[in-house]
Each structure stands twice: as C-alpha cells, then as structure tokens.
C-alpha cells in the first residue's frame, strides 16, 4: 500500500520547526516537519532507525501553552533522504496518544499551521 493511501488524517505543516528530543537519551532527534494526532515527520542530520519506540519530548512554542514540553511515545516507521542530501526525513506513528496530548496537537495545528 502506498504511504499516502494508508494515511487517513491530513498532515499539517507548522510555521515553526519545533525541536523533538529522545527524552530517554536527552538528545535532539530532529525538527518537526508535520504532525497529526496519529503521527509526525521529523527532519534530522542523522538517519533514525525504523522500528524503534521512542519516548519523545517536543518543545512547544513560547507564549501559546501553559507547559513548555509535550511528552509522548511514538514508533519510527521509516527513514529516507530529505530533498537536501545533508538531512533525513523520518516518519513516526503515535498510536497511543492520550486525550490531553491530542488536544495540544489539535491546538498546535489550529494556531500554527500553514493555511493549505
């Protein structure tokens, strides 16, 4: 099945490239390219291996939310070269996101996404 055919939620591109960390290793994984309540795509300098579950910490933009970080688990599903050969794109599935996290993601999309 083609990746776009499997996606039921439209990916939304945000105005900010928010930083996303591997919270367990306390290392920057990459920057958020797009997001839905069931997954996200990061761009990074390093290839992120597929098939691993990460505890992610996403830095939220200042002035929009009471909290500064959003925590959730997501599984890396694929990784490929970005259009820029110095970077990689990685898709993550976040199938078990709780209600509060979904609300923050909806708010991010509403407030900070491009009108497309």
The CATH number of residue 17's host domain is 2.40.10.220
Length of the chain: 116
Give CA–CA dist 44/31, Å, rounded. 6
Domain around 43: 3-112
Overall number of domains in the chain:
1
Q: What span, in angstroms and rounded, lies between the C-alpha atoms of 37 and 2?
A: 20
What is the C-alpha to C-alpha distance for residues 55 and 76, in angstroms, rounded to an integer? 11
Q: Would you say the pTM of this structure is higher than 0.85?
A: no
Q: Please provide the distance, in angstroms rounded to a whole number, between the alpha carbons at the two ends of the chain.
A: 25
Regions of the chain short of the pLDDT cut 50:
1-15, 114-116
pLDDT tens-digit readout, 1-22: 334 434 444 444 444 578 999 9
Q: What are phi and psi of 28, to 5 degrees?
A: -65, 120
DSSP letter for 45, please.
S
């Amino acid at each position: 099945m083609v990746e776009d055919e499997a996606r039921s939620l439209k990916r939304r591109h945000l105005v900010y490239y928010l930083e996303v960390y591997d919270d367990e290793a306390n290392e920057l994984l990459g920057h958020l390219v797009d997001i839905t309540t069931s997954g996200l795509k990061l761009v990074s300098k390093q290839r992120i291996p597929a098939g691993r579950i990460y505890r992610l910490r996403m830095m939220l933009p200042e002035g929009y939310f009471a909290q500064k970080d959003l925590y959730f688990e997501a599984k890396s599903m694929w990784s490929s070269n970005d259009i820029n050969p110095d970077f990689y794109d990685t898709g993550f599935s976040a199938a078990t996101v709780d209600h509060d996290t979904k609300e923050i993601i909806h708010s991010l999309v509403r407030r900070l996404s491009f009108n497309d």
